A = this chain, B = another copy of it.
């Protein structure tokens, strides 16, 4: 299968491209200027808002399906950069859907589009209503969530498949996210490059973590088998506190450090617990195969290598 990936230089896009190549499948896609293109597939530097360039890239690639990962995706920064989040996440998605609707798959039918959304669209959900099913009405609690919830409406109206991923975690993730940040701080402490103080945000928040490798399999599966106009939760079903994940990471690394709450890492609005019901994806044959420990081991290994290289 040949998948066209927007945001192919991003955390999920890049891993998807590499994984497809390993499987003997094909990836192509677009990336933005501030990220280097991956070392594989046909890749073009294209702004999601540039309709002509996007159409040209899609015509050249002639993929079997599109995976739309390209987005601004940091909840915290969305409060300060609301217009950018609207432009990229809403107008960019609309543009991609327009262009894809004018293309057709090599098989002749409509080109399937899978739009990556986020469990953040659900907002705060009472604990006794967890895990969250896809029929729950979105109740976004941050500008990021609002833009994703709006993009979903546009996508569903066009018959795209929408995937609400819960917290993806694994190697390649930016240090602006909690767990990769912890791993890098611990690696710096281990090497003696930093004082033994670990700066953290809200440790009591509980999240439903999914290993990014399991997510890749889900996106790939939905590109082929997803029902047009349907929403799928991508989740493990379990809520684990950031504190627990940090404890696992500390055990795994063997590093001891003083934990210090950094007010800058506390989000203006935080959702205390999230856990999703991925029944629809499971019914299509998907299931998570990797543990949170697997993901943390990846992050730790990567952080140590980065520090060694630095």
| A154 contacts chain B at the CB level, 8 A cutoff | yes
| A143 contacts chain B at the CB level, 8 A cutoff | yes
Query: Given A154-B153, A154-B154, are A139 and B87 also a contact pair (CB < 8 Å)?
Result: yes
* Docked-complex contact B82 and A142, CB < 8 angstroms: yes
In the complex, what residues of B have CB within 8 A of residue A22's CB? none
Query: Given A143-B143, A147-B146, A154-B157, are A138 and B82 also a contact pair (CB < 8 Å)?
Result: no
The 0/1 profile, CB within 8 Å of B marked 1, for residues 69-84 of chain A is 0000000000000110
Query: Given A86-B138, A140-B82, A140-B83, are A146 and B150 also a contact pair (CB < 8 Å)?
Result: yes
* Docked-complex contact B153 and A90, CB < 8 angstroms: yes
Question: Which A residues, 48 to 87, have Cβ-Cβ distances below 8 Å to chain B?
Answer: 82-83, 86-87
| A141 contacts chain B at the CB level, 8 A cutoff | yes
8 Å CB contact of A150 from B87, B90, B123, B141: B90
| A296 contacts chain B at the CB level, 8 A cutoff | no
Q: How far is the CA of A140 from the CA of B82 in the complex (A)?
A: 7
Protomer copies? 2
Q: Which of A83, A91, A154 has the most CB of B within 10 A?
A: A83
| A302 contacts chain B at the CB level, 8 A cutoff | no
* Docked-complex contact A137 and B87, CB < 8 angstroms: yes
Question: Which A residues, 157 to 172, have Cβ-Cβ distances below 8 Å to chain B?
Answer: 157
Query: Given A91-B137, A137-B91, are A86 and B146 also a contact pair (CB < 8 Å)?
Result: yes
In the complex, what residues of B have CB within 8 A of residue A154's CB? 153-154, 157
* Docked-complex contact B123 and A83, CB < 8 angstroms: yes
The chain B residue sitting closest to A80, CB to CB, is B269
Q: How far is the CB of A69 from chain B (nearest CB, A)?
A: 20
* Docked-complex contact A83 and B139, CB < 8 angstroms: yes
The chain B residue sitting closest to A124, CB to CB, is B83
In the complex, what residues of B have CB within 8 A of residue A149's CB? 86, 90
| A134 contacts chain B at the CB level, 8 A cutoff | no
8 Å CB contact of A83 from B82, B87, B90, B141: B141
Q: How far is the CB of A74 from chain B (nearest CB, A)?
A: 16
Q: How far is the CA of A182 from the CA of B83 in the complex (A)?
A: 31
Q: How far is the CA of A139 from the CA of B87 in the complex (A)?
A: 7
Q: How far is the CB of A107 from chain B (nearest CB, A)?
A: 26
| A94 contacts chain B at the CB level, 8 A cutoff | yes
Question: Which A residues, 225 to 279, have Cβ-Cβ distances below 8 Å to chain B?
Answer: none
Q: How far is the CB of A153 from chain B (nearest CB, A)?
A: 6
* Docked-complex contact A86 and B143, CB < 8 angstroms: no
Q: Which residues in A have some Cβ–Cβ distance to B below 8 Å?
A: 82-83, 86-87, 90-91, 94, 123, 137-143, 146-147, 149-150, 153-154, 157
Q: A82-B140, A87-B139, A91-B153 are in contact. List 19 more A-B contacts (CB 8 A).
A: A82-B141, A82-B142, A82-B146, A83-B123, A83-B139, A86-B139, A86-B140, A86-B146, A86-B149, A86-B150, A94-B153, A94-B157, A146-B146, A146-B147, A146-B150, A150-B150, A150-B153, A154-B157, A157-B157
